[in-house]
Structure 1
Amino acid sequence: MPGFLPWPGQLLAVAVLVLQPAGSLGVQCPVPSITHGQLKSAQNFTYGSTATLECDAGYVPVGAATTVRCLGSGRWHPRVPACTLGRCPYPPAIDHTDRSPQHEFPVGTTVTYVCRSGYALLPDVSPITTCLKNFTWSSVPKLCQKMQCPSPTIPHGRETSPRKAEYSFGHQVEFQCDPGYVLRGSQRIQCWSDGTWRPPVPYCDKVCAPPPKITNGQHSGLRTEQFSYGLEIKYSCAEGLSLIGDESIYCTSDDGVNLAWSGPAPQCKVVRCPKPTVERGRMTPQRFTFPYGAAVRFSCDEGFVLHGDAESRCLADGAWHPALPTCQPVLCPQPQVANGRLKSTLDGKVWYQTNATVTFECLDGYHFLDDGSMSPEDSRTATCLPDGKWTPLPECKKEDAANVCEEVHYIQAAFECDVPMAEVKTLLEIQKLFLEIKKLKVELENLNVQVL
């Protein structure tokens, strides 16, 4: 039968060669060459004898006729059969495996098994089977084992479902942390085919205790169940009350293990500071109420200087801190003129108020320097300015040859400083005479004005 596949243990039929009676014609049939097989007969291939086809291991006859007879014409009947490569039946099914979708399995064919999802190949076991020459498959042991995930235990937490001795592919687990801890990660995880948990196993992190409550106020964590590390809580007071203390506190750690709040909770109080008043001063910004935390800055009117801190803030005790400053009149220190002195120091003043004017006189042997920009009378006085400084002070110069060049600078255009002393003194006498004439002229003009 075409396509015949012998099963394991099946024996090939061997046809018995029937010899003709003695005296028959001595005709012989040729010995045929059969690939992967040969004809077998008890005697020579003579007329009337029969022979049976035997194929090599792993091969089977082609067609149904495996026995042939030698005819008187010296030919085989039917035609000499052939051998073809044999096939194995479907390979055996192995638990928890799949294989390639082949339908024919000639001798020598190999088939590889693959473990199904959730199972893994046993170590040191080959997943390959081979079609043998006896048309059977090579031995295939147990190949796959079910994948297991490690026990998902977490410190300070537990599974909400009953614990199992083994966790295989597809198992799901949910967790819950002990009081005082918060779950970091996914609450539900599943065992995957590669033996790992997805998402990864979570952990339980320590949290702060609920933040302290305050009277007449509240904090931002009223709807929060777990107060984890780094969480900020803000406090606020009822209308009309001031928050005394830090507005925010944080869940933090001093030792890296235990968690606690960064500080005490603030308080809500009625705090009002009195209106700050600084005589001869100004306040910015201008406002009419001064609750806790309000800050103002001060400056003084012209001619006055600020003593104390320029800024003050209303604190929890209802007072201004630092204390309010004062505005004191601007004072000029007693002026000092080299080689000169004040005309009147009987009052013993050391400081002078704004607009105070003092008069100087030079010591013996010195005289005032006149630079031509002011009259001699003006050069002898100084006035205290609003910024605490004096108008330019006069200068007293010694009447000797050392100061000749300075006192006769108007002469230097015509003479060098090395002019002989006799000539310099003459020039000075002329200058002095000129000034006396100028002074006399001014007095005469004043006298005429009085007469008129």
Structure 2
Amino acid sequence: MPGLLGLGQLLALVILVLQPTGTLEAQCPIPSIANGQLRSAENFTYGSTATLECDPGFTALGTSTTARCTFNGRWYPRVPSCVPGQCSHPPAVEHADVQHRHEFLVGTTLTYSCRVGFSLIPGVSPATTCLQNFTWSSVPRLCQKVQCPTPVIPHGREASPRREGYTFGQQVEFRCDHGYVLMGSERVQCLSDGMWRPPVPYCDRVCDAPPKITNGQHSGMGVKQFPYGSEVKYSCSEGLSLIGDESIHCTSEDGENLAWSRPAPECRVVRCPRPVVERGRMTPQRFTFPYGLLLHFSCDEGFRLRGAAQSRCRADGTWDPPVPTCQPVVCPQPRIPYGRLKSPLGGRKWYQTNETVTFECLHGYQFSDNGMMPLGDTGTTTCLPDGSWTPLPKCIEEGDADVCQEVHYTKATFECGVPVEEVKTLMEIQKLFLEIKKLELELKN
């Protein structure tokens, strides 16, 4: 013999020798397969064929699902195993996307989401599941275009024919009825969130065109609409005056209807007469005096305004307030304590500028001019251009005159630079003089 037989070969030879006699058959073991089993129409003996059946949701690993029992009691090829099955890529859904994955095992559930501008149809589930037969559960139509609410614009309309519905991306233009103006954007678009952007406008009432005026114009020329609060200003042609308020505005008295706040002004030739103020002046100096001109008045020295210092030319050609006059300045009757005016001037109440009056002191009193001039028997004062008097004289008791004179003399001596020692001596003399006067008054009383 070329060599010894191996143990396996020897066992196979024995089986082969014994088979024809029917005394011994090769038997293959029944394998334990997770999530599956072998099925055969025959017993698991030599030459029989078995097929692998995996449990639902599982599939055989490998390319072959059958095995044959060989003469040595083994399965050939090796029995494959059962592994979890998976579905192919989920089906495409119109206007929707699904999360991307590398594998989709049985039992996996995916949820679709609608693309921008589309929304989920109410009552429809966006989910699909990988079934045990490795197919996906049915997916109905999921997404529809986003719907925007029908735009409502009172006192207005759409520029194009009205639609049954408004979906994402559509645009709408608006127009207002006569007598109304569009407040907001005239064009809006339906966006992905189901809202109109910019917001839907509204139509507001407007005033009619401002009234025109002869020989003038207003600032609203060329403007088509005049909503609430609009203002226009008027102006006149050169050489004419605007009579009335310069501007008017669109307003409402009843909270609903709109109208202009007041009638339009007029353009007319208006001139006031030249003011004549004797003994006075006016500014500015002009040759003509149109409506609205404001003049300022003043008087010459010695005269005083009677009336208002300003006057304006009115629409009826008159000055308001009336042009003032310049009256001579007068001084009221002067009075002094312990004195009186000498006749015949004593009975007058008013005195003209530069007029001088004379006083006399009552019995027991004499004039004093505060030491600036010698005492006298009469005193005078003069009426000044501003209506006041020059300093009035003073009447003092005759006994007080010496005392006052001494005081003023001492004050003048000190102010004239007399040495301090001499001033002290003078003050001592003054003190002694005052004490003598005091004693004389006490004896007198």
TM-score range, shorter chain: 0.7 to 0.9
CA distance in 2 between counterparts of 1:132 and 1:262 reads: 79
Shift of 1:118: 3.7
CA distance in 2 between counterparts of 1:417 and 1:142 reads: 130
- Given residue 181 of structure 2, which amino acid in structure 1 is its aligned partner? V
Number of residue pairs aligned between Structure 1 and Structure 2: 406
Give per-residue Cα distances to partners, 1:380-403, cap 9 Å, x unaligned: 1111111111111111223468x8
Structure 2: runs of 5+ lacking an equivalent: 1-18, 410-426
Which secondary structure state, in structure 2, belongs to the residue aligned with residue 414 of structure 1? Answer: helix
Q: Which residue in 1 is equivalent to 2:320?
A: 321
CA distance in 2 between counterparts of 1:423 and 1:148 reads: 121
C-alpha change, 1:335 and 1:162, in structure 2 (3 Å) is same
- Given residue 369 of structure 1, which amino acid in structure 2 is its aligned partner? S
Q: Which residue in 2 is equivalent to 1:59?
A: 58
Q: Is the 8 A contact 1:247 1:266 kept in 2?
A: yes
Taking every aligned residue pair, what percent have the same amino acid on both sides? 65
Q: Which residue in 2 is equivalent to 1:28?
A: 27
- Given residue 109 of structure 2, which amino acid in structure 1 is its aligned partner? T
Q: Is the 8 A contact 1:53 1:81 kept in 2?
A: yes
Which secondary structure state, in structure 2, belongs to the residue aligned with residue 207 of structure 1? Answer: strand
TM-score (normalizing by structure 1): 0.81
Q: Is the 8 A contact 1:25 1:47 kept in 2?
A: no
Shift of 1:249: 1.0
Question: 2:436 aligned with 1:419, yes or no?
Answer: yes
CA distance in 2 between counterparts of 1:396 and 1:122 reads: 116
C-alpha change, 1:63 and 1:375, in structure 2 (3 Å) is same
Give per-residue Cα distances to partners, 1:53-91, cap 9 Å, x unaligned: 111221222333222112122322122223333232443
CA distance in 2 between counterparts of 1:415 and 1:370 reads: 24
Which secondary structure state, in structure 2, belongs to the residue aligned with residue 313 of structure 1? Answer: strand
C-alpha change, 1:413 and 1:53, in structure 2 (3 Å) is same
C-alpha change, 1:95 and 1:421, in structure 2 (3 Å) is closer
Shift of 1:182: 0.2
CA distance in 1 between counterparts of 2:298 and 2:21 reads: 155
Which secondary structure state, in structure 1, belongs to the residue aligned with residue 358 of structure 2? Answer: strand
Question: 2:126 aligned with 1:109, yes or no?
Answer: no
Which secondary structure state, in structure 2, belongs to the residue aligned with residue 173 of structure 1? Answer: strand
Question: 2:330 aligned with 1:331, yes or no?
Answer: yes
- Given residue 413 of structure 1, which amino acid in structure 2 is its aligned partner? Q
Q: Which residue in 2 is equivalent to 1:47?
A: 46
- Given residue 194 of structure 1, which amino acid in structure 2 is its aligned partner? D
Structural mapping, 1:308-387, within 5 Å: 308-345=307-344, 348-377=347-376, 380-387=379-386
Shift of 1:336: 0.8
Q: Which residue in 2 is equivalent to 1:10?
A: none
Which secondary structure state, in structure 1, belongs to the residue aligned with residue 272 of structure 2? Answer: coil
Q: Which residue in 2 is equivalent to 1:446?
A: none
Q: Is the 8 A contact 2:86 2:103 kept in 1?
A: yes
Question: 2:284 aligned with 1:285, yes or no?
Answer: yes
Give per-residue Cα distances to partners, 1:102-148, cap 9 Å, x unaligned: 57533233322122444322345431111011222234344334433
CA distance in 1 between counterparts of 2:377 and 2:31 reads: 157
Structural mapping, 1:5-404, within 5 Å: 23=22, 25-42=24-41, 44-101=43-100, 104-345=103-344, 348-377=347-376, 380-399=379-398
- Given residue 299 of structure 1, which amino acid in structure 2 is its aligned partner? S
C-alpha change, 1:422 and 1:26, in structure 2 (3 Å) is closer
Structure 1: runs of 5+ lacking an equivalent: 1-19, 427-452
